[in-house]
Amino acid sequence: MAGALGGEGVAAGGGRRGGPLIVTEDAELLDDLLRLCAAAGAEPEVHHGPPGRRGAWERAPMVLVGDDAAGRCRGAGRRRGVMLVGRDQDDPDVWRRAVEIGAEYVLRLPDSEGWLVDQIANAAEGVGRPALTVGVLGGRGGSGASTLACALAVTAARTGRRTMLIDADPLGGGIDVLLGGERTDGMRWPDFAQSKGRLGGGALEDSLPALHGLRVLSWGRDDEVVVPPQAMRAVLAAARRLGGAVVVDLPRRVDEGVAEALAQLDLGLLVVPGELRAVAAAKRVASTAGIVLDDLRVVTRGPYAAGLDEGWVAQALGLPSVGELPLESGLLASQDSGTPPGADARGPLARFCAAFWEQAEAAGGASSATGLSGGGTP
């Protein structure tokens, strides 16, 4: 059982902070709370009553007060993020004690354990605005979706955004290859395939290969690994909590894991070459992805077949147009030498990506990131 007395939960700013302040003399309750803090990756400070050290009560990101200690905390200063924690489900006086200490929430264990772990982790990580999360799909094979995903991530990192690139296509060959980092140390999807529950955002970031100013989660070089939806959910949720930008390279086939990834996107970009067969294939991809993804837009790619252009393709698909993906000479040769797409800040691909991020940021999200090459909603 968890009951709210007011407020909007635990407020948190940017940057990783310390763990919660725990106030209790109940040894069994303390063991439970220490276990939950460990699960959340947080190191708490423990006191039997309000800490005598000046500022500790006010400075902690959150305060967990045991039922046994509520009376001793009556004189503590009022602040947000105070929770009264106990086990007695039928205690008639619990709400009175919560009001006396200014608690925002009343928690009964073990029922509230999962929720409390999330709140502790959020407070310790200093969760702020979640990352703008963009998925890239190909309308057909070889459309250039992975190239665009890589260029978006490289551009976001170069402009100072905290960036993570996640490869959700197990048959794509590994997006770390596009970045020239297939041999770089760090964890890959096989290391996270069994993940359940919550992952710490900082721990995820620290474990991944660092390439060109961003973090990359790609596939191993061994046998194919199936990533269940709960693992995809845990990884993407951890990545989003870090803030900045998350780019997800997606396959055209939607299974349960991909559906989970689609559900966490703010915006999807469907890359479609300007030819009739590609548009026909892209319609099927858009129809399937659109079951889960609310905001899907099209990026067209030339050269175009006779009678086709950016507006025609977008109109045929019934999707808003983000713009036309520019051609960049020497791109394949650059990749062979280990230079990733979008690395040339003055190149047309990097300029396209920079315009996308600027408009998305100016709009406060993905809702107005359209018309990057003079196009718009058809």
For the stretch 238-262, pLDDT in tens is: 899 889 999 999 999 999 999 999 9
Helices 145-158 and 348-362 pack at an angle, to 10 degrees, of 70
Looking at residue 127, what is its pLDDT?
A: 60
Given the structure tokens 């479609």, which residue do they identify?
272
DSSP 200: -
pLDDT for residue 362: 74
Average pLDDT over residues 9-13: 38
H or E element, residue 96: helix 94-101
For the chain, what percent of residues have pLDDT higher than 90? 62
pLDDT for 82 beyond 80: yes
DSSP string, 136-180: EEESSTTSSHHHHHHHHHHHHHHTT--EEEEE--TTS--HHHHTT
Bridge partners, 86 (sequence order): 108
pTM over 0.85: no
Side-chain-side CA neighbours of 90 within 13 Å: the count stands at 0
Residue with tokens 């396209």: 352
Neighbours of 206 (CB within 10 A): 12
pLDDT(212) > 50? yes
pLDDT for 36: 93
304-349: pLDDT as tens digits: 999 999 999 999 999 999 999 998 877 776 666 678 999 999 999 9
pLDDT for the residue 118:
82
Q: Are 138 and 300 in contact (CB under 8 A)?
A: no
What mean pLDDT do residues 173-192 have? 90
Sign of CA dihedral 200, 367, 275, 342: negative
**Size (the chain), residues:** 378
